[in-house]
Amino acid sequence: MVSKPRKPTQKKGSTAKNSSRKKTSARKVSIADTKGKQLVIVESPAKARTVGQILGKKYVVTASQGHVRDLPKGKMGVDLDQDFEPSYVTMQDKRSLLNQIKKAGDQAKTVFLATDPDREGEAISWHIQTAAGWDNQENPPKRVVFHEITKQAVEEAFEHPRDIDMSLVNAQQARRILDRLVGYQISPLLWRRVQRGTSAGRVQSVALRMVTDREREINAFVPQESWTLDALLQKLDPQDNDLRSFVATLHSVKGTNKRVNVSDEKDIRVYESELKGAKFTVDDVRKRNVKQRPSAPFTTSTMQQDSGRKLRFTAQRTMSVAQQLYEGISVNGEGSVGLITYMRTDSVQVAQSAIGEARTYIEDKYGKSYLPEKTRLYKTRAKSAQEAHEAIRPTSIMRTPDSLKSALTADQHKLYTLIWSRMLASQMADAQSEATTVNIGAMCAGTSE
């Protein structure tokens, strides 16, 4: 499944693929001497610093800076007659880096592939292993997976290494092949029929269909006229200093429980004329206690939604900042620290240790009354959820946003505060409030009620 590396050529009609990770040009790096040491390969320099600090001097941690191989840019790169077999080439700007990684790995006692714990990370590890020629060795690289970059999580992962999961790799390959098939076969048609420079993609084409269908529903909608009537009222009690105005809305006619629905201006004007000069009195006041359960910890999608609504961050900006928090931030006195768990997840489940830490913090900070009697456990409602990872949470609830303010950028602090607050609230007791409903009667002129 591997073709000989060859210089890719840019074809005038090729399209960009849908990718969940931002591509960057490889930086020039120098890998330390690995003789007698263990080589660990991750994706980014920031992650390499954090993991290297945890593992110590017996390990050399380096970064692949993302993918090292991909489908060629100048042609399809997928053999439709051979079960969609992909043909990969080493990226031109990664050739030197890959040679350095191969040399360092050949000299090391053991190679550990510690890329992200998802299908993209699994594929990066597989591509590195295959391109370096390590897949047929007697002692092939070991795959280690951790969902948060903390001392406990990293050390536990290295105590339980595994082989590369080809099911995850194949899932990533299927996605990448679909990207290429959709882009290369539909985009040229769009150039001819719509406009030059337009493109189609595996994700954007489906999203466009959803938007189009919704727009058609809007255009097909037949608007219906609806009217409401509000009265601006004020207390008449001269002994009451609270003389603020309030609004009452026409709900029903006395003697009936049927809500007033008015679809014509003439009818609403009749009600308006009858209620002008009416005497308004409070008929009854009803109060009830309202409880509201806290929301579950963040998944990727709920984090993006909340960040967009409260912080005005785009999805891309949210994920970029979350990646920084996950890979490690330099914290005074601690060095580089991973502050949140892995940010690509559809799970709302949280480790028991993290729940215990949150409950301890809540009791110490706010008191027992803020804790529910039973530990809160959450389940994902979506049937398609894979739940391969935990929810997005702080690696330690004890690292409060205020304690990290000097170490974080403005964006990092805003998003960390959002994640920290959501996790803490998820383990609190229900919020309690009182809802009050006031029924006001109107005695119209010339009537007894």
**Confidence (pLDDT) at 446:** 61
CATH number of the domain at 206, please. 3.40.50.140
Q: Which two tokens stand for residue 235?
A: 């207390």
- Return the CATH number at 334: 1.10.290.10
271 is catalytic: no
Do 209 and 267 lie in one domain? The reply is no
Give Rg (Cα) of the chain.
Answer: 31
Question: How far is 20 from 4, CA to CA, in rounded Å?
Answer: 27
pLDDT of residue 277: 84
Which regions of 228-337 does DSSP assign to beta strands (E)? 230-233, 246-249, 279-292, 329-331, 335-337
Same domain, 74 and 53: yes
Q: What is the mean pLDDT of residues 380-393?
A: 73
From the candidates 342, 361, 378, 416, give the one annotated as an active-site residue: 342
User: For position 364, what pLDDT does the model report?
Assistant: 97
Q: Of 70, 56, 38, nearest to 144 (Cα)?
A: 38
Q: Is residue 192 part of a domain?
A: yes
Same domain flag for 33 and 119: yes
pLDDT band at 31 (very low <50, low <70, confident <90, very high): confident
The residue segments making up the domain with residue 310 are 300-429
pLDDT tens sequence across 369-381: 999 989 999 987 7
Asked if residue 7 has pLDDT above 60, the reply is: no
Calculate mean pLDDT across residues 347-375: 95
Are 57 and 137 within one domain? Answer: yes
- At 66 the pLDDT is 94
Confirm whether 2 is domain-assigned.
no
Length of the chain (residues):
449
Q: How far apart are CA 56 and CA 191, in angstroms?
A: 54
Chain segment 276-325, per-residue pLDDT in tens = 888 999 999 999 999 999 999 999 999 999 999 999 999 999 999 999 99
pLDDT above 70: percentage of residues in the chain: 90
In total, how many domains does the chain have? Answer: 3
Statement to judge: residues 192 and 274 lie in one domain? no
pLDDT value at residue 25: 52
Q: Note whether 79 and 185 are same-domain residues.
A: yes
pLDDT tens digits, 81-114? 999 999 999 999 999 999 999 999 999 999 999 9
Residue-level pLDDT at 350: 95
Tell me the pairing of strands 38-42 and 59-63. Answer: parallel
- Judge if 141 and 274 occupy the same domain: no
DSSP state for residue 298 in the 8-state scheme: B
Are residue 248 and residue 164 in the same domain, yes or no? Answer: no
Q: Are residues 425 and 439 in the same domain?
A: no
In a domain, 448, yes or no: no
Look at residue 19 and tell me if it is in a domain: yes
Say if 134 falls within a structural domain.
Answer: yes
Question: Do 307 and 235 share a domain, yes or no?
Answer: no
Q: What DSSP assignment string belongs to 185-204?
A: HHHHHHHHHT-TT----TTH
Query: Model-level pTM?
Result: 0.80
Residues 94, 77 share a domain: yes
Whether 329 maps to a domain, the answer reads: yes
Question: Taking all residues of the chain, what is their mean pLDDT, rounded to a whole number?
Answer: 89
The C-alpha atoms of residue 193 and residue 113 are separated, in whole angstroms, by: 46
Q: How confident is the model at residue 389 (pLDDT cuts 50, 70, 90)?
A: confident
pLDDT in tens, 145-201: 999 999 999 999 999 999 999 999 999 999 999 999 998 888 888 888 888 888 888
Q: Exposure of 227 by Cβ count < 10 A (0-12 exposed, 13-18 middle, 19+ buried)?
A: middle
Average of per-residue pLDDT across 261-287: 91
- At residue 9, does pLDDT exceed 80? no
Give me the mean pLDDT over the 373-392 stretch.
78
Query: 45 lies in a domain?
Result: yes
Q: Does 417 lie in the same domain as 392? A: yes
In a domain, 4, yes or no: no
